[in-house]
Amino acid sequence: MTSRFTRETEKTLRGAGWYPGRTVDTAVWRVPLEESGFVFPEAAERFLAEFGGLSVDHGGPGLTRAKEPFEFDPLLALGEDDRFGEWGASVGRVIAPLGELDRGRFFLGIDENSVIYLVADWLASFGAGDEGLEHLVLGVMPERVRAS
């Protein structure tokens, strides 16, 4: 096991098909989404190159909220460019889609600083980078983000 993630997070991600050094072509998601109005910062490209296409179907108690299934397929947000654009403008960030949380109940997004968001009629942050991914996997309640 690597020390990048907790043992539980690494086990969950490996079970979904992730492995250290994994790289996938992001054009399959980026091109159709950019054509529909989304903007993809470099952080979104890096995240999707490593984790894009993974689906975690777990549940049960987490650290501060229930663990919920999630899928890193940004095409699930097609047609939601206005929602992502409005939230991004309200917090002064570009937020690109990552996929869905809880089988479509919420969207997942990422900004240019690698902050991972729950995107709905409200916005919440799981944190940045690996920490944000850990929080998503382990069932940590995201912090509500107030628009500026």
Q: Which residue has the tokens 């969950």?
A: 12
Asked if residue 102 is part of any domain, the answer here is yes
* Percent over 70 (pLDDT), the chain: 98
Number of domains in the chain: 1
Q: Is residue 2 part of a domain?
A: no
* Residue 51: inside a domain: yes
pLDDT on residue 3: 80
Residue 1 lies in a domain: no
Contact 111, 129 (CB under 8 A): no
pLDDT in tens, 45-76: 999 999 999 999 999 999 999 999 999 999 99
| CATH of residue 28 | 3.40.1580
Residue whose C-alpha is closest to residue 133's, from 10, 19, 27: 10
| C-alpha to C-alpha distance for 38 and 6, rounded to whole angstroms | 32
Query: Coil, helix or strand for 144?
Result: strand
